[in-house]
Amino acid sequence: MILRHLALRAPPRAALAARQCRRFMASEVDILERNVDNSLKETHSIETTINSQSNHYVPAYNPDAERQAALTDPAVAEDWQAHLHSRRVSSKIGAKVSPYYAPHTLVNNPPRPSDVTLELLLASQAHLGHSTAVWNPANARYIFGIREGIHIIALDQTAAYLRRAAKVVREVARRGGLILFVGTRDGQERAIVKAAQLAQGCHLYDRWIPGSLTNGQQILGKCRMKVVDEMDKELPDFNPQLIDRPVLKPDLVVCLNPLENYVLLHECALNHVPTIGIIDTNAFPTWVTYPIPANDDSLRCTQVIAGVLGRAGEEGQKLRLQAAAAGEVTFTPSQNLEMPEDFSSEGSPSGSEGAKKQVARMEGAQPKVIRTEGARTEGAETEGVAPGVPEREPPVMPGDGASPSPVGREAI
């Protein structure tokens, strides 16, 4: 290849170099062949001399004798057939490694809450804690024992707390609550996004902006909102009433790494937002409302837990839509929204018969408010927030006035 490129760049000189190289290689091969022939002739002459001067006959050396003997010997063919037969018989003998771990399956097809087993958690390394020197004594009830200076987490506790957290996520989703999935460590992006898509919630994998809950009106005040009915159908006629409406807050926060997101958990506590978090042996279980004792350093473990919670949210959304199709509204309607005078459904002109029937149907089931896709505050760093995933307003329970109440507390 080098000589060819040289020939393209400088044809006369490169062509001369190529011819000289070929001439050199050919001469070397000829020299080697002549040396082999001379050696063979010398061997034959030595054999002839020995046979003439000695009574012991020395057979002549033939390089191709062994190969010709192997081709004509029937034992070689029998041995080859026996080898083929042994390979056909023994190919089905032995253990097969199945099922085996494929990293993409936990993200593309997450397990359901009913699929949580101790074998799955053990294979996901959920039982490995931290060194005994950095443990938090508050996690003593979650620890099974110590092995080689490392705390071992009890997987029966992990399975029980994970199933409880899945029930919380399912009920919050069934009652129309907004679920925020947070995971800011490297490698957690795909699992977080998939869980948010299943639960129809939001995700954050970059960085939590301090004050997004405690000072949300300043950070998220310019986010646009929209109104949907019980079947998640947008109702644009309510948009004029959403101009001065307060910002939305999540009803439940799922955090995969609480140690790095203490500010988020603190703001959730100040705003009475329930939280779910993976608690390792060095973390504080009181930081979250629903702890899940597990290994937060294992990417496979976090993928399993995020997938299970995402599947639980998906199940809750299906139950909500099924109830809405049967005429039952499982969420609390948004307050301070009035029915527009000339309300019209999408695709129907204002004042038509279809619009009047839509108004009559909407009088029984009030709408709810969710945030539109792609809305962000100017100057705020919100790259980790998922665009295209709607957020719903925290429902207001009867008798509470205008103060929102997280649906997770009333749902459980």
Q: Minimal CA–CA distance to 333: which of 406, 396, 243, 409?
A: 396
Residue 388 lies in a domain: no
| Amino acid 36: pLDDT | 76
CA 294, CA 129: separation in Å to the nearest integer? Answer: 8
| Amino acid 10: pLDDT | 47
pLDDT, mean over the chain = 78
Q: Minimal CA–CA distance to 391: which of 147, 223, 174?
A: 223
Residue 316 lies in a domain: yes
| Amino acid 307: pLDDT | 96
> Residue 94 region, left (φ>0) first, then alpha (ψ -120 to 50), else beta?
left
Residue 119 lies in a domain: yes
CA 409, CA 14: separation in Å to the nearest integer? Answer: 83
Residue 395 lies in a domain: no
Residue 130 lies in a domain: yes
Strands of 290-293's sheet in order across: 202-204, 179-182, 252-255, 275-279, 290-293
Determine what percent of the chain falls in helix, strand and coil, rounding each to the nearest 5.
Answer: 50, 10, 40
3-state secondary structure of 278: strand
Which amino acid, residue 277? G
**β-pair partners for 146:** 151
CATH of the domain at 184: 3.40.50.10490
Which amino acid, residue 262? Y
Residue with tokens 């294992």: 298
Q: Is 162 exposed, middle or buried (0-12, 13-18, 19+ CB in 10 A)?
A: buried
| Amino acid 401: pLDDT | 37
Residue 61 lies in a domain: no
pLDDT tens string 221-248: 887 788 888 888 888 888 888 887 888 8
Query: Which strand (E) or helix (H) includes residue 354?
Result: helix 353-362
pLDDT tens string 252-271: 999 999 999 999 999 999 99
Residue with tokens 């988020």: 264
Judged against a pLDDT cut of 90, whether residue 54 lies above it is answered with: no
Task: Give the strand pairing for 252-255 and 179-182.
Answer: parallel
131 φ/ψ angles, rounded to the nearest 5 degrees: -65, 150
Residue with tokens 């506790």: 157
Residue 197 lies in a domain: yes
Highest mean pLDDT among 54-68, 106-120, 217-231: 106-120
Query: Which strand (E) or helix (H) includes residue 99?
Result: none
Instruction: State the greatest distance between any 2 C-alpha atoms of the chain, in Å, as a whole number.
Output: 129
For 122, the token pair is 């053990």
Pick the more confident residue, 340 or 252: 252
Pick the more confident residue, 96 or 164: 164
Total of domains in the chain: 1
Give the whole-number percent of the chain exceeding pLDDT 90: 46
Strands of 225-228's sheet in order across: 225-228, 368-371, 391-392
Residue 56 lies in a domain: no
Expressed in angstroms, the distance from the first to the final Cα of the chain is: 73
| Amino acid 155: pLDDT | 96
Contact 130, 293 (CB under 8 A): no
Structural domain of 215:
115-325
**β-pair partners for 153:** 143
